[in-house]
Structure 1
Amino acid sequence: MINVLSMILIGFGLFFFFVGTVGVLRFPDALTRAHGAAKCDTLGAVLSILGLILQAGFTVAALKLVLVILFLWTANPTATHVIAKAIYRNRHQEE
């Protein structure tokens, strides 16, 4: 049962990675691309890592993976915000 649930979580994670990639290719401008990529990237990574945590069981490796999730939850949105802010400022300085 753990293997099936782990595969489902990793599969959903890969799905969100795929959707984020399609969003980067299809969205019209850099701000919407950054938004779509950030949301899908964070969710895809967290779901994939949760699947890996199920596979690892209650070990030190699982604790390290939880720390990676916490880092991703803070680093990805922060980095995307900084990139989007730079894009926004660059556009308005040219006008």
Structure 2
Amino acid sequence: MGFDGVGIIGAIIIGGIAGWLAGKVMNTSTGVLMNIILGIVGAIVASILLGILGVSFGGWIGYLIAGFIGACILIAIGRAVSGRRA
């Protein structure tokens, strides 16, 4: 289903962790639900972008790395669109 073998529950848990880590690194104050969304959508975005470059991650750790990278990208895009600085 696009979750690289981690399952939907695993994707939610890992997405939440990835979103939380990205929020800490990027200095944002989002809630738990937004962290989960950022992590899951971020993993999808990063998987697509890294897939274009020929890089692929698999399993729990790979999904966490992709989610973290993607969530950071999404936070940066959100800041650029809104014009808000850290």
Q: TM-score, normalised by structure 2?
A: 0.35
Q: TM-score, normalised by structure 1?
A: 0.33
Which protein has the bigger helix share? 1
Structure with higher Rg: it is 1
